Amino acid sequence: MSGIVSPSTADIASALKQRATMRLRALSDDALHAYLADALYQERRRVERGKAEDDGQPAYIALLDEAARAIRADRGRMQRAVLALVGHYVAEIHNRFSERTYNFATRFLPGALTRLLTAAQPTQLLGADFDPASRLMVQGPLEQLRALSQNHTLLIAPTHLSNLDSPLIGYGLYAANLPPCIYGAGLNLFTNPAMSFFMSRLGAYTVDRRKSHGLYKDTLKDYSVESFRRGAHSLFFPGGTRSRSGLIETKLKKGLLGTPIQAWQENLAAGKKDGEILVVPCTLTFALVLEAETLIEDALAEAGKSRYIITDDEFSEARTVASFARRVLSLDASTYIRFGAPLDLLGNPVDAEGRSRGPDGEPIDRTEYVTDRDGNVIRDDQRDRVYTARLASAIAAAYKKDNIALSTHVAGFVTWELLKAQWPRLDTFQLAVLRPEERRLERAAVLAGIDRAIAGIRRRAEAGEIREALPEGGAEGLLEDALFRFSGYHKRTALRQLGEELEVGPRLSLYYGNRLRGYGLEKEILA
């Protein structure tokens, strides 16, 4: 049966070194030299610039020094230096899952979410004061997923908006009686001692996104492959980082997403019957997003490329996190975790028994995608990359379909579109820096736009193109709900009432409204 597997660091290091050895064998002397040199150059630069404080321990420096000597020596020494670095990275990445901690944390999470994120010591976490079931809506084909999780390995692939996503999904899995998952968490999330204590025991493995060289990335991928092979349910965000703009992810990263197909084929080749892996797209929808202000700033500044990791956003401010957690958890149904219909690794839907279904609904033998007529597994990395791209498209399509329109999204969308219409010659950036008196809209015009947006969203929801959880009371009810939710949380104005006018915070309205891009609603908003 699949579940969390918790091998010792020595065990996993041994397995990953074996994988690395296989990879190194395929490299020429020059390629091996370049592989090690790239890792060494990048790590040395980080250490010299003082940006590797957590890696600056003497043992790691000694490994880099040995790598520097090995690079001028023979092949054997270069290989040993690579394997030594792999061993170091595995020790950094791997954390042992603790069932005891998991049971404890899930019992009190998210009632103790505020404390979890802010407590100085783990002991402060005792106590529960929220009823999570009424705050976080967990939806989807849960019964089917529970059944499938018994004899399949699941990859949970969520959208990514906030650093709170991982613990929330962790809770969502618990609430849905689904098994826990291992998941990659940025090194910056381990800086809070309480967070680190729990994350390392809740299945989180450490990902240092500052290490961008091939050796580290290969080790991470190998870790993922090895975990899938051993039947560990996994969670990773195929979008890579948090969506800066608030848009639903349409282009997903293929690196880690390609690891389950490798593990699956290895299991097939080894004759492992219970090695089937299924993918569960998961859409997270928040009425409010903790880091909204920083993220949209970043998107507008176009500085939010993957190489730039925000370390000082709202998440690093304990008070802001606590305020957010209180706010989110005190508002009914403001956060949705929707597990989508499970897919096979080619992006085909699967039925209740986990069998793949073709476009005509007929069952298909998915092993035929990777085997010849005699049932032998045919390895083809190029083919697998295309398969992974297909899977990525299927996940992105599921995100779009399972996205849930909320009042804050509609209010943001409509007010941004009306601002755009009011200032037709201004581009996005110019709109974002309008002065307060320039970004006012007549309430009546906003209500009319919301009315049309509601109609458009409900029409699309009936066609299965999107989901909605809009409040009752038509445009008036929706606007009131959005104003209530926006009020008091963000430092900047998102939307506020000024007599018969509304003052729009363009950046936040853009951010929240972006959740509704891609459905062709724009033209329907304006009269």
- Compare residues 373 and 425 and give the one whose CB is closer to another protein: 373
Look at the alpha carbons of 453, 404, 259, 223 in this order and tell me if their dihedral is positive or negative.
positive
Closest distance between another protein and the C-beta of residue 367, in Å?
8
Closest distance between another protein and the C-beta of residue 75, in Å?
30
Helix 214-229, helix 29-48: angle, nearest 10 = 100
Closest distance between another protein and the C-beta of residue 388, in Å?
12
- Compare residues 316 and 371 and give the one whose CB is closer to another protein: 371
Closest distance between another protein and the C-beta of residue 376, in Å?
12
Spatial distance between the Cα atoms of 349 and 371, rounded to a whole number of angstroms: 20
Closest distance between another protein and the C-beta of residue 70, in Å?
35
185 backbone dihedrals φ, ψ, rounded to 5°: -130, 140
Spatial distance between the Cα atoms of 324 and 314, rounded to a whole number of angstroms: 10
- Compare residues 100 and 523 and give the one whose CB is closer to another protein: 523
- Compare residues 65 and 522 and give the one whose CB is closer to another protein: 522
Closest distance between another protein and the C-beta of residue 365, in Å?
7
- CA-based angle 419:517:436, to the nearest 5? 25
- Compare residues 359 and 424 and give the one whose CB is closer to another protein: 359
- Are 291 and 313 in contact by the 8 Å Cβ rule? The answer is yes
Give strand ranges (E) for 330-416.
Answer: 335-339, 356-357, 363-364, 404-405
Which positions touch another protein (CB under 8 A)? 346, 348, 356, 358-360, 364-366, 368-369, 371-373, 380, 382-383, 386-387, 389-390
- Compare residues 129 and 368 and give the one whose CB is closer to another protein: 368
* Residue from 234, 85, 215 nearest 158 by CA: 234
- Compare residues 386 and 498 and give the one whose CB is closer to another protein: 386
298 backbone dihedrals φ, ψ, rounded to 5°: -65, -45
362 backbone dihedrals φ, ψ, rounded to 5°: -80, 145
Spatial distance between the Cα atoms of 327 and 371, rounded to a whole number of angstroms: 52
Specify burial of residue 223 (Cβ count, 10 A radius: 0-12, 13-18, 19+): buried
Closest distance between another protein and the C-beta of residue 405, in Å?
25
- β-pair type (356-357, 363-364): antiparallel
Closest distance between another protein and the C-beta of residue 350, in Å?
13
Position 505, amino acid:
G
- Compare residues 360 and 437 and give the one whose CB is closer to another protein: 360
